[in-house]
Amino acid sequence: MAQRADKTNLTDASRGKRLQRVMADAGVGSRRACENMIEEGLVEVNSIIVAKLPAWVDPEEDHIVVNGKPLPKADRKLYIMLNKPVNTLSTAKDEPGSDRRTVTQLVDHPASARLFPVGRLDYDTVGLILLTNDGELANRLTHPRYGVPKTYKVTVKGELDEEAIKELERGIYLAQRKAGNTDGVARTAHVEIELIARDRDRTVVSLTLREGRNRQVRRMLAAVGYPVRKLERTGMGPVKLKGLPRGGWRELTREEIRALRRSAADSQREEKEQGAKSSNQRANNGSQTGKSGGSRRTRARNQPKKAPYMSPQAGQEVNIRNRTIKNAINRAGNEKGFVPKKIEEPETTDGSNGNE
C-alpha cells in the first residue's frame, strides 16, 4: 500500500496544489493577496503556521485555516452564457443607494456559486456575456495580452459608405483615460468588418475586435459620423450567442469551455511568436548598424525615453520627442494647417470599462 503524504511537509510538490491557489479558488482573494496573507503568518495548515512559500497542500485532506476561520471548500467551476437584456449592469452588485438590475441577479443557478461577469457590456448594450467563478480563465478572456476576439452586431443610422469602413479597419484615434483623466490618444487595433445589410436609412455590420476600451464600438462609429442605434455582442472567441431569449442563460458545454481555453492559449502563442520575430528583427538591425560604426548603447542614450506620439488628425506617425501630449497634438495640428479640437473620452453610465 502506498504511504500517505506527510501532512507536516508542505514543501513536497507532489502533495497537490499551491496553497495560494487553493485559497484563491475558495474565494479568499487574488493569488497575490493570498500570498501576502501567508507571508504575514495568517494561514495555518494542519495546525502549523505557514509563513514561507512555496507550499503545497491537498485541499481534500488538509485542514486549512485563514485568519482564524476554516477555509471553505472551493465551488465547482461554473461557466454560464447569458443573453444580457437592456438596462442591466454588468457587475455583481450595484453601487450603494442604487437599485439597478445586475447580470448576476438574472442567473439563479442551483449550485448557488458566487459568479462574476467576464468583462463588461454597457448598461444599454445587449447580448452575450459570460459569468463564471473561474478567475484564471476570466483573466485570459479579458486581458489584452491574450487578444481573444469579441464580435458585435451593430446597427447604425444611415448608409455606411466604403470609405468609413476602410477607416474603421485601419484604426480610429481615440482618447485614453487614466486615473479619471485624459491621457493622450491612441489608434485602435485592426478590426474585422462584415457587411450584413445596408440601405439609405440604416446599415447593419458584424464587427470583430481584439482589444477592449471604454465604449469602443460606439466611439469608433461616432468618429466616422455614424451613431450606433443598436449594439449586440454575438460572440466571444469561439463561443456564439445562439438559442437564448433575451434575459435567458445556460451553462456552457464541455466543448465550448475547451474551445475558450484553446482560444486564449492560441492568442498568447501568437503574441509570443510575434514578439520573438520582433526581437530577432531588432537584433539583426542592431548588428547591421554596428557594422556601420554605430554603437547600440550610444544610440540608446541619444534616443528619447518616450516613444513618438501619434497625431489623431494627421492619421500617421509624427516624430515628436520629449514633449507633453498636448504640445505634441498642437504641433501636429499646426503642421497640417489646423488646430485640433480637444478630445474627451465619455464616461459610461455604470462606470464600466467595457469595449462596446
* DSSP string for residues in 175-194: EEEETTEEEEEEEPPP-EEE
Residue 17, pLDDT above cutoff 90: no
Domain ranges in the chain are 13-70, 79-262
Question: Measured between alpha carbons, how far is 213 from 175 in angstroms, rounded to an integer?
Answer: 10
pLDDT value at 31 more than 90: no
* CATH architecture entry for 13-70: Roll (3.10)
Residue 99: alpha-carbon gap to chain centroid: 27
Residues with catalytic annotation?
A: 122
Mind listing the pLDDT tens digit for each residue in 39-70? Answer: 999 999 998 898 888 999 988 888 999 999 99
Is-above-0.75 flag for pTM? no
User: Over 70: is that where the pLDDT of 223 sits?
Assistant: yes
d(CA 265, CA 263): 5
Fold for the domain defined by 79-262: Pseudouridine synthase (3.30.2350)
Grid coordinates belonging to 343 = 478630445
Q: CA torsion angle for 85, 352, 35, 71 (degrees, to 10)?
A: -30
